Amino acid sequence: MAYSSAGFGFSYAFTPMVKRLIVANAVVFCITLIVREPLMFEWFAFQPGKLVFRPWGPFTYMFLHAGLFHLVFNMLPLFFFGPRLEARWGEREFFKYYVICGLGGVALSFLFQTAWVVGASAAVYGVMLAYAMNWPDTPIYLWAIFPVKAKYLVAFFFLTSLLGVRSSAGGSNVAHFAHLGGLLAGFIYLKADWRPGAKLKGLQKAATRRRRLAIVPRDEAEEEQEGQRSRGRRRSEDPALYDKVDAVLDKISAEGMSALTPEELRLLDEVSKRHRSN
């Protein structure tokens, strides 16, 4: 099992959508124990050959699990990786991405697999991928001992799924096609930047760069008079410094002031003092 401390990016607190997803999976699992797996899987698993008669299967299969360990091994990564993503994206965007990755698992399974599929693995693999793409160098501690960067851990899961495709074709009960589909769907979605907030974030970054020197409130009339002359002079003084300021302001916009390191806070304080002295 992989986990890390809050200092490395994990917060051991539920965010609303992650909490709802975990509760929903747990409730469905309890219902499965009462009703029994054969009946639940027959009606709510994803079955490629019965898609016309069970059109809800591509969605409901994400909430079914074949045993307690299957449930736990899917919910733990969601608990550790999901909250930070939801905090950055918001509930609706996080849930939409989760479902898209789950449907990606359905798409690949439909093309290459005939057996039924259950489990949240495709969606959870997509969540882990998004985490690694946002915070690639965050150390993940395997069994609380071995630190592995998030990007390498997800790359390992990708290779495992890719190599496991043969065993799936040979009758393995591990849905490697679903895992691979979740990863591919998540990657395409994120790289294509189809998220509704992506353009807004780009506009915010552009606005941040235009106001890079607005660290200390200034008189509006003075700003109007100095305008381009002031901005050009300061950039010519120390362009590398203001590039660093740009990066810090972008970080504040994305993660808030609490995410800044002591060095970044000192940088802002230094630039602020320069402007007051000017």
Domains of the chain: 2-194 (1.20.1540.10), 198-277 (no CATH)
pLDDT at 225: 52
DSSP string, 91-110: HHHHHHHHHHHHHHHHHHHH
Residue 184's CB: how many other CB atoms inside 10 A?
21
Q: Are 205 and 253 in contact (CB under 8 A)?
A: yes
Total H helices, total E strands in the chain:
12, 3
Share of the chain above pLDDT 90, in %: 40
**CA–CA separation, 17 and 120 (whole Å):** 15
**C-alpha atoms less than 13 angstroms from C-alpha of 73 in its C-beta half-sphere:** 11
Task: Give residue 269's pLDDT band: very low, low, confident or very high (50, 70, 90).
Answer: confident
* The predicted structure's pLDDT at residue 205: 55
* pLDDT confidence band for 267 (50 / 70 / 90): confident
pLDDT value at residue 194: 63
Minimal CA–CA distance to 33: which of 65, 60, 59, 56?
65
Three-class SS state of 111 = helix
Higher pLDDT, residue 87 or 240:
87
> Can you name the residues that pair with 147 across neighbouring β-strands?
141
Q: Give the bridge partners for 46, in sequence order.
A: 117
Summarize pLDDT for 26-63 with one digit per residue, the tens. 999 999 999 998 999 999 999 988 889 999 999 999 99
Give 261's contacts (C-beta < 8 A, 6+ positions apart): none
Q: Which residues of 66-81 are buried (b: 16+ CB within 10 A; e: fewer)?
A: beeebbebbbebbbbb
Unique residue bearing structure tokens 């690694």: 132
| pLDDT recorded at residue 112 | 82
Contact assessment for residue 112 and residue 184, using Cβ atoms and an 8 Å cutoff: no
198: pLDDT strictly greater than 60: no
Task: Give residue 201's pLDDT band: very low, low, confident or very high (50, 70, 90).
Answer: low
CA atoms of 183 and 123, how far apart (whole Å): 8
- Burial readout 103-118 (b: 16 or more C-beta within 10 A, e: otherwise): bbbbbbbbeebebbbb
